[in-house]
Amino acid sequence: MPDPFDPAAALDLTLRTRANLADHSVARWYAPLYGLNCGIAIAAHSLAQPWATTVTIVAVLALVTQYRYWTDTSGLQVSATRAGSTLPTTLVYLAVFFVIGGGALALRYDRDIIWAPLVAGVVLVPVAAYASARWDRIWRDEMRRL
């Protein structure tokens, strides 16, 4: 009896499945909302306590909720720190976020420059949105090739 397994057909099915997953993962709302929440998490520190802490917690919870909603609706779960072609984007974004955000927090709490987190938050909104959109684009491209 001939073997029904066809390696070429299996490879074709794998490639089509991966491409379908990449197409299914698109959420145009994700990157702008991610950027907004990252910016708010830093900008909140321009507020007096307890508002700074409260708004920061709400922004972080919004980020977690956003990711959970995406995983629930897409059926996928992807780590930002996964090995692959997305890792350089993750590392560069984290460095930028910590330099800008951390610098603003240091200015706020060490030098009492109250407006520094607000400016940093405004800067981080498009930076984080761009990084998220770039990460998604790189991941989808990676999923479309073997």
pLDDT tens figures, 13-35:
777 877 777 777 788 999 999 99
Residue 37 inside a domain? The answer is yes
10-residue mean pLDDT series, the chain (146 residues): 75 78 82 98 97 98 96 85 89 97 98 98 98 92 80
Residue 108 inside a domain? The answer is yes
Residue 12 inside a domain? The answer is no
pTM, two decimals, is: 0.87
User: Which amino acid, residue 143?
Assistant: M
For residue 39, the model assigns a pLDDT of 98
**How far, in Å, CA of 28 to CA of 137, rounded?**
11
Residue 70 inside a domain? The answer is yes
**Helices within the chain (DSSP H only):** 7-24, 30-43, 51-74, 87-111, 116-143
For residue 2, the model assigns a pLDDT of 62
For residue 40, the model assigns a pLDDT of 98
Domain count across the chain: 1
**How far, in Å, CA of 33 to CA of 30, rounded?**
5
Residues 6+ apart with CB under 8 A from 43: 117, 118, 120, 121, 122
| Domain containing residue 92 | 29-143
Residue 67 inside a domain? The answer is yes
Cα angle for residues 64, 70, 75 (degrees, 5° grid): 125
